[in-house]
Amino acid sequence: MGKRLKKKRYIKGLDGIRAIAVVAVILYHLAPFSFQGGFLGVPIFFVVSGYLITDLLFQEFQQNGTIDVKAFYIRRIKRLYPGLVAMVLSTAAYITMFSRGLAENLKSVIGTNFLYVYNWYQINHHESYFDKFGNQSPFTHLWSLSIEGQFYLLWPIFIFVMIKFFKKKQPIIDTILIMILFSALEMAFMYHVGEDPSRVYYGTDTRMFSILIGAGLAVVWPSTSLKKQLPSKPRLILDGIGLGSFLLLALMFTKMTGENELVYRGGMFFFSLAAMILVAVVVHPGADWGDWLDNSIFRWIGKRSYGIYLYQYPVMVFYESKIQNIAAHPVLHGLIEIVIILAISELSYRFLEVPLKKFDYSKTSSVVKEFFKADSSYGWKRVYVAIPLLIFVLAAVGSFMPSSVAASDSKDDGQLESVIKNNQKKASSVNQKADKKTSKSSSGNSSVSESSNSSSESNNDGKSPISLTESERKKAQGLQITCVGDSVMADASAKMQEIFPNMYVDAKVGRQVSEIVPILQSLNSSGKLAQTVLISEGTNGPYDENTMEKIMQILGKQRKVYWINVFVPTRRWQDQVNQELKDDAKKYGNLTVIDWYSYCKDHPEWFYDDHVHPNPDGLNYFGPFIAHEILK
């Protein structure tokens, strides 16, 4: 085994960078539309990892004339594996006990995480990172650890071969630059506007450039070659560059969204470059940024950032699945989740990660023998072993649980999925007929009678479905409507087309408000946009003013536009979306908001277990209510 490095400088400020990165990720997962660029915390982790690992590998070769790859693997496993194994197994155990609907494919999820290939599993199973409502997997965030694991596996071998083959740094730098450009360009070319970007988001090939940027920095900016003291002018210049990169990162955190074309066609690449510049300044002992980012709070968060990242998503998924009215107190619930995450992370750091990182595994057999002695020095502390044993057993049970058991526990999810698939088939047939009629009369006056814009409210107490009058039913039979929406409308489309046989429906699970802009543009250009438009959007998140302006500009002032507000008590953005719609109804004279929220909020029995999508009984209320608000 190769010698450990004689000199290993502690780099002040890197814990601060890690703290910023993990806080950004948590805020994004808690409030993805308020902290829309928080997902960019991950590229910061990648840049830091690429720099540190490459810097250490070069130091080892310079000191020992070789790189002990086996010793490197052992160090990485001791540092990372205990936390990962504990988190994955404890999450699996929780699923077995309290959330069996998530147990499907659990064995594969555990196995691919332990092998660090989970990101490819997500790609092959078409799992979306950006489906804020539908994606309930507590393992979603582990894609990034798989990419890092693959990097740790291959990089020491790559560096050793490059050093041996090229002898000099310049060819190594050139090779890394080519790899960076290839990865960034692949991301740009593989991204397609209007499609879910999860393939390029999860892919090792399309995300590796961030790690390689950090690695390239280590080759040209090794920590051991940087001067500890700098004259005042160079120090000020370096600090100014650090400030510029920090402000640029902060700006991109607030402006970039995970589904924006710019992110994948250069945005994430330039963000990684900005992160690299900040890392370069922080690691320089002659600059002040290392001190500025080195404080007790940042050090505490930074040292526990691995555990915080591991446990944040399971805590959020499980907590929010049990608390049905997150929207009522979003800040309070967010703070509670943060406290739980920090508490679990502290326990993991203190009692698992640090002890097992220092543990000499060559003494494992002697420790086991001592543990089982009658007069063992561990004494009563041996009872603690029951905790990991119980977790392991429960995780194993969940892993081998028959799919039928998992399916029965999530029967509502399966039923809803089946309903939506059947509705989409039916809608396709009805849409063809509605298309022809709308095309013929798109220039005519087929809208409902004029009514003032408002947030409509029903006088019905909700105890029995609204009964449409004979006049309303007759009007509904002839009314041509274009309807676009998300999964709520996908769930309700059959009921709506039963009432409105000339309704054209385009509804999709996970759809954001911004995604209906090109749909409406296409329908309008082809003359298939009816004079009455129904929109059911906002379930998956709020929208910005620019998006609403585009929608209303496409629809024009002559069309009558109805927008169903949202009932999403399990998500923080419910009240934000409904308030935005209420404000926009005052701004646009032909926009009427249908107040589904007020009508249904006291009737949880109308919904599937997700508390958002109307069940068959709820649809008997939803359909007539929406129809009545349009026809009155």
**pLDDT level of residue 413 (50, 70, 90 thresholds):** low
pLDDT in tens, 506-530: 999 889 898 999 999 999 999 999 9
Task: State the pLDDT at residue 448.
Answer: 47
pLDDT in tens, 547-574: 999 999 999 999 999 999 999 999 999 9
Q: Over 50: is that where the pLDDT of 438 sits?
A: yes
Sorted by sequence, the CB contacts under 8 Å of residue 484 that are 6+ apart come out as 505, 506, 507, 516, 519, 520, 533, 534, 535, 536, 537
Looking up tokens 């500890």 gives: 228
**pLDDT level of residue 447 (50, 70, 90 thresholds):** very low
Task: State the pLDDT at residue 14.
Answer: 97
Task: State the pLDDT at residue 115.
Answer: 98
Sorted by sequence, the CB contacts under 8 Å of residue 390 that are 6+ apart come out as 93
Interval 283-294 mean pLDDT: 96
Task: State the pLDDT at residue 445.
Answer: 45
Interval 580-598 mean pLDDT: 97
Residue 534, strand partner residues: 483, 562
Three-class SS state of 474: helix
pLDDT in tens, 313-339: 999 999 998 898 899 999 999 999 999
Find the radius of gyration of the CA atoms of the chain.
Answer: 28
Beta strands in 413-553 (DSSP E): 455-456, 481-485, 503-507, 532-536
Interval 17-39 mean pLDDT: 94
341 or 360: which leads in pLDDT:
341
Interval 595-604 mean pLDDT: 96
Q: Over 60: is that where the pLDDT of 219 sits?
A: yes
104 or 588: which leads in pLDDT:
588
Task: State the pLDDT at residue 450.
Answer: 45
Q: Is 342 within 8 Å of 300 (Cβ atoms)?
A: no
Instruction: Supply the DSSP symbol for 103.
Output: -
Domains and CATH numbers, the chain: 21-408 (no CATH), 411-631 (3.40.50.1110)
Q: Over 80: is that where the pLDDT of 259 sits?
A: no
Task: State the pLDDT at residue 313.
Answer: 96
The residue among 274, 268, 272, 275 whose CA lies nearest residue 188 is: 268
Distance of alpha carbon 333 from alpha carbon 355, whole angstroms? 32
Q: Dmax over Cα atoms in the chain, in whole Å?
A: 93
Q: Over 50: is that where the pLDDT of 454 sits?
A: no
Q: Which of 106-115, 128-137, 371-380, 505-514 has the highest mean predicted lDDT (pLDDT)?
A: 106-115
Torsion of CA 250, 252, 257, 260, to 10 degrees: 180
Three-class SS state of 505: strand
Task: State the pLDDT at residue 231.
Answer: 93
What are the φ/ψ torsions at residue 368 (nearest 5 degrees)? -65, -45
Interval 271-284 mean pLDDT: 98
Torsion of CA 219, 222, 227, 228, to 10 degrees: 160
Task: State the pLDDT at residue 362.
Answer: 84
**pLDDT level of residue 458 (50, 70, 90 thresholds):** very low
pLDDT in tens, 365-412: 888 888 888 778 877 877 888 899 999 999 999 999 876 666 555 556
**pLDDT level of residue 462 (50, 70, 90 thresholds):** very low
Record the pTM.
Answer: 0.88
Number of other residues whose CB lies within 10 A of the CB of residue 515: 17
Cα–Cα distances (Å) from 305 to 13, 23, 48, 92, in that order, read: 14, 9, 13, 22
pLDDT in tens, 77-88: 999 999 999 999
Task: State the pLDDT at residue 446.
Answer: 46
Cα–Cα distances (Å) from 562 to 416, 453, 530, 559, 591, in that order, read: 25, 9, 12, 10, 6
pLDDT in tens, 221-255: 999 999 888 999 999 999 999 999 999 999 999 98
pLDDT mean across residues, the chain: 90
Q: Over 90: is that where the pLDDT of 426 sits?
A: no
Q: Over 80: is that where the pLDDT of 192 sits?
A: yes
Number of other residues whose CB lies within 10 A of the CB of residue 274: 23
Q: Over 60: is that where the pLDDT of 63 sits?
A: yes
Task: State the pLDDT at residue 440.
Answer: 56
Q: Over 90: is that where the pLDDT of 271 sits?
A: yes
